[in-house]
Chains A and B, each alone.
Chain A
Amino acid sequence: MDHSKSEIEKQIARRNRKNKRFKGVIIAATIISTLPLLFILFYIFRQGISAINWQFLTHLPKPVGEAGGGVSNALVGSILILLVSCVIAIPVGIVIGIYLSEETKSKLAYYCRLAVDVLQGIPSIVIGIIIYEWIVRPMGGFSAFSGSVALALMMLPSIIKSTEETLKLLPESLKEASLALGVPYYKTMLKVIVPTGLSGILTGVILSISRVIGETAPLLFTAFGSPFMTTDIFKPMSSLPLIIFNYATSPYEDWHQLAWGASMLLILMVLILNMISKIIQRKWKAQF
Chain B
Amino acid sequence: MESAVLKVTNFNAFFGDNQVLKNINLAIDKNSVWAIMGPSGCGKTTFIRCINRMHELTPNATTEGSMQLNGEEVYEMNPVLLRRKVGMVFQRPNPFPMMSIYDNVISGYILNGIKLNKQQKDEIVETSLKRAALWMEVRSTLHKKGTFLSGGQQQRLCIARALSMNPEMLLLDEATSALDPVSTAKIEELIHELKQQYTILMVTHNMQQAARVSDKTAFFYLGELIEANNTKKIFTNPQHEKTQDYIRGHFG
**B-contacting residues of A (Cβ < 8 Å)?**
105, 171, 173-174, 176-184, 187-188, 191-192, 195-196, 198, 286-288
Contacts and interface: CB of A to CB of B under 8 A. Distances in A.
A182 B107 CA distance: 11
A192 B165 CA distance: 18
Interface centre among B59, B82, B97, B113, by most chain A C-beta atoms within 10 angstroms, is: B97
B92 interface: yes
Contacts of A105: 59
Contact of B111 (A176, A181, A196): A181
B96 A180 contact: no
Contact of B80 (A173, A184, A192): A184
A177 B98 CA distance: 13
A182 B96 contact: no
A195 B90 contact: no
A262 to B, nearest CB: 40
A183 B145 CA distance: 21
A189 to B, nearest CB: 11
A286 B54 contact: no
Interface residues of B, number: 30
Contacts of B108: 181-183
A177 B90 contact: yes
B94 A176 contact: yes
A140 to B, nearest CB: 46
22 contacts: A173-B90, A173-B94, A174-B96, A176-B94, A177-B94, A177-B95, A178-B96, A178-B107, A181-B83, A181-B87, A181-B107, A182-B83, A182-B108, A182-B112, A188-B111, A192-B111, A195-B98, A196-B98, A198-B98, A286-B97, A286-B147, A287-B145
Interface string B116-152: 0000000000000000000000000000010100000
Contacts of B96: 174, 177-178, 192, 196
A176 B147 contact: no
B233 to A, nearest CB: 32
B94 A181 contact: no
A150 to B, nearest CB: 35
A171 to B, nearest CB: 7
A286 B83 contact: no
Contact of A183 (B52, B95, B111): B111
Nearest to B93: A173
B203 to A, nearest CB: 14
Interface centre among A176, A180, A196, A288, by most chain B C-beta atoms within 10 angstroms, is: A180
A177 B52 CA distance: 12
A287 B97 CA distance: 6
Contacts of B92: 173
Contacts of A288: 97, 147
B60 to A, nearest CB: 11
Q: Which 5 A/B pairs are nearest by Cβ-Cβ distance? A: A182-B84, A182-B83, A286-B97, A180-B88, A181-B108
B158 interface: yes
B81 interface: yes
Contacts of B90: 173, 176-177, 180
Nearest to A191: B111
Contacts of B59: 105
A221 B232 CA distance: 82
A209 to B, nearest CB: 24
A187 B107 CA distance: 12
Contacts of A187: 111-113
A188 B108 CA distance: 11
